[in-house]
Structure formats: structure tokens, C-alpha cells
Amino acid sequence: MLLLLSQEPPVAPVQEAPKTSVQSLLDPLTGTIRTQYRYRATSDASDSDLYEIISLAYGNPDKDPVTAMLSARLAADLDGNKNVQGFYPFTSTDDRYSKWATERLYTAYLDFRPRESGVQMRAGRQTLDEFPEAVPMDGARVRVAAGSQIALAAFGGLPVNLFESSPSGDAMYGASAEWMPIPEGRGRYRVEYLHLRDENVLGLHRDDLVGFAIDEGAGDFNVYARYTLLEGESRDLVARLSGAVPDAEFLFQLQGTYVFHRIEALSYAIDPYATFMMDLQPYVDLQVRASKGFGSAFTLDALFTSRQLVRNGIETTYNHEFKRVEIAPLLRNWPLQDVSLRVSWDYWNSSGDDFWTLSGDISWSLHRDIVLFLGSSYALYSVDAFTGEEHDRVRTYSVGMTWKVSKKSSIDGRFTYEQNAVGDFRTLEIGFRHAF
């Protein structure tokens, strides 16, 4: 605002009411708020929930030395918390609390960037997404740019476990160094260290993770690789080549992952699953994704993944070798203008449990601001449990619409009917989203 005024020629003072301080304080505030109502029912049970999701940003990170960010969710079980014993078809993670409304704070941090100092400080609840796993933390992080080619960072705080009642015994700290061989270039070489101490219901974990990462790009191609050590021993290696041939409307990504050793239970923040799914067996995973456009009307996406256990890895209930194929054609504005047809086939083949899904939907832009859609999906799960093989089928039918009420507001609604081995489910969702 000041910059804009400084360029305008001087004008005579205009008699107008001065802006209040409240207005000027709220000017840098932007964000979205979404309200969503969900009703679910079977033949003998029902559930009504209300969700409020808010995302707020204060200030412009490109200009302002101080900015803030907040995102949170409030969930209310409108018909009360049905924390019933035994089977209940609408059990939710929120039922572990003995109250009808629960709140979750995802991010809430303050950024401070002294002008032209190359320093960025962030304090509050944040996610360290530059690490191999995005690690949520309550704490502080400082990033210092040492010239145009080197950036150093350090952080410390408490790991965030959204469902843990006490952070007692938890701590995390670490650092990273990043080298950019060419200033403002695309090449990045990183070394990172993360220490986690996590005391949870199943014991105390103290983990040290070290990572080396390379990110290089040229033209429409990008190469990425990351190698990590856990407790001084090779943990995994990920290498990825991605690129595009714009003239041919072709995108691709090749990725290989190698897990070197059996990984036991770790801190939740870097491995929330081994506690329940047991050890992760070493494997090699090769993945190819590709997308080809055929003019403006037709796009074909495809994925192939193959995972093999290696180094004496043993196949168990939660460690399968598998092959996965996904094919997803998309037709836009064909055969009718404003009509899109999307189909998706996802097939997982393993020696034990297998499943595949086939889904499709058709959407019609009834008006510039109104889109109607109709869809259906089918899934078949073949489970080879110790009791013998069983087949579960799931059929889902849905219809809905989105309506852009104004430039900043929209309403959406969806009704879904689902038939599966448990029963028949009917779900109605109505949402309102407003951006400001």
C-alpha cells in the first residue's frame, strides 16, 4: 500500500472517514473456512457429524518480515459420542475421547524474517517436510542462508502425536545443510540429521536419522536421490527421474526404492506402523508412472509398480511382494461439450491378499459455475487369512454437485450408496467453503 501511494502524484486531501485500526490489522489476513455436514446410516445405525476446517495466513511471506499460519479442524459428533463396546459401523478415531467435539491443530506458527539478513525463524506447530518423512513438531526452526549457495538450518522441539495425551519423554532436534552449486539454479545437495525421542504406550524409542539428498534438474528433466542411515546403518535409498516432453504431451516418472535392512518399531514420527504391522522387511520397489495426452480431449495415465523382498526378507501378513497396475483414462469435452468421463482401474497382485478396484464417473458442467457428477465404483478384495480365503465385494454409487456461488464461495453436496460385506451404507455430505 505504501509503495503504491508513493508512486502516485500528490493529490489534495480527501475528506473521508479514516480507516479503523481493526480494518488495517485484518487486511493481511487471508484463508479459507469450510463447513461440512455428514450423515451416515445403515439399516440399524446412523451417525451425524459436523466438521469445521479453517486455514489462516497472516501477511505476505514475500514482503512482510513477520507472518503467521494456522490450520485446524473441529469435529462434532452431533448425535453424541457413541463409544460403544464391540462392533459399531461408525467407529472413528475421535471416539477415543469422552466428548462429543474434538479439535485438531495441524499447524500454528509464526515466521520471522529480518530484512536482507537471509535468516528465517519459525516457531510453533509446524511440519519439517524436507526430511524423508514429514515430521510434525512443536518447536522452533532457524534457517540461515550463508551466501547464495549454502543454507544451514537447525531445529528443536517436541514431536507432535495428535492422539497422545502427554508429550512426556518426547523430544526432537536436528540440523541440515544445503548446497546449491549454481546460485538460483535447480541443483541442491543436502545433508540432514534428525534425532527423535518418543515415549509412547509401547515403550521408549530413541532414533537417529541421517540423510543425504541430491536434487538436480535440467530442462524438463529432474533427478532426485536420497539415502538415509538409521542408527548408523543404511536404511533406504530412493532414486527418481522425472521429466516431460511437452510437445508430445508426455510426462513420466521412474522411481526405485531400496530398503536395506529389516526395520523394527521406531518413533511414531518417522515410522508409525511397525508397532502394529511388525517389522518392515527389506525390499526393492520399482515404479513407473507415465501420462500421455492425446489432444485436448483424451489423457491416459498409467502406473506400474513391482516390489520384491530382498536380503532374506520374509513375506508376512504386512510384508508382501506385489505388483500393481493402475490405468486411468480421462475424456474431456467428448463426446459432448462440458462433459467429462473418467475411469480408473487399480489392480494389486500379491501372493497373499489381493484386490482391485474399478471406478468411473461422468461430470457435466451444467453452467459455468455448476458441475453435476454421477459415479460408481466396484472393488474386490481377496483375503487369504489363516481361516481361509474370502472375497469381499464393494459397490458404490454416488451423485453430487458443486456450485460456485460467488468468486470466493462454493457449495457442494454428495450422496453415496455403498454395498459391502458389512452392510448397506448411505452417506450424505453437504459442504460450504469460503475464501477470504
Contact set for other proteins, span 384-413 (CB under 8 A): 385-387, 392, 394, 396
| Residue with smaller CB distance to other proteins, 88 or 334 | 88
162 binds other proteins (CB under 8 A): yes
As given in the structure block, the three cell numbers for residue 242 are 522425472
* Of 46, 48, 71, 149, the one binding other proteins by CB under 8 A: 71
130 binds other proteins (CB under 8 A): yes
Number of Cβ within 10 Å of residue 336's Cβ equals: 9
Residue appearing with cell numbers 501372493? 351
| Residue with smaller CB distance to other proteins, 48 or 83 | 83
* Contact set for other proteins, span 170-189 (CB under 8 A): 181-182, 184, 186-189
d(CA 73, CA 90): 19
* Of 48, 74, 110, 133, the one binding other proteins by CB under 8 A: 133
Tell me the closest approach of the beta carbon of residue 205 to other proteins, in angstroms. 6
163 binds other proteins (CB under 8 A): yes
d(CA 158, CA 139): 6
* Contact set for other proteins, span 285-344 (CB under 8 A): 289-293, 299, 301, 303, 307, 312, 314, 316-320, 322, 324, 330, 344
- Among the residue ranges 9-17, 19-27, 139-147, 419-427, the one whose residues contact other proteins (CB under 8 A): 419-427
268 binds other proteins (CB under 8 A): yes
Tell me the closest approach of the beta carbon of residue 164 to other proteins, in angstroms. 6
32 binds other proteins (CB under 8 A): yes
| Residue with smaller CB distance to other proteins, 43 or 317 | 317
* Of 76, 137, 153, 230, the one binding other proteins by CB under 8 A: 230
* Of 141, 143, 205, 433, the one binding other proteins by CB under 8 A: 205
In 42-131, DSSP assigns E strands to: 46-58, 66-77, 101-112, 119-128
The candidate with the shortest Cα–Cα distance to 318, out of 271, 286, 357, is 271
Tell me the closest approach of the beta carbon of residue 113 to other proteins, in angstroms. 13
Three-state DSSP class for residue 248: helix
Residue appearing with cell numbers 523382498? 309
If residue 3 lies in a helix (H) or strand (E), which one and from where to where?
Answer: helix 2-7
- Among the residue ranges 12-20, 139-147, 167-175, 216-224, the one whose residues contact other proteins (CB under 8 A): 216-224
Tell me the closest approach of the beta carbon of residue 173 to other proteins, in angstroms. 17
d(CA 436, CA 28): 10
225 binds other proteins (CB under 8 A): yes
24 binds other proteins (CB under 8 A): no
d(CA 395, CA 412): 23
Which pairs with CB-CB distance under 8 Å and at least 24 residues apart come from 150-154? 150/177, 150/178, 150/179, 150/180, 151/177, 151/178, 151/180, 152/176, 152/177, 152/178, 153/177, 153/178
d(CA 326, CA 395): 19
- The count of residues in the chain is 436
| Residue with smaller CB distance to other proteins, 31 or 413 | 31
Radius of gyration of the chain (CA): 26
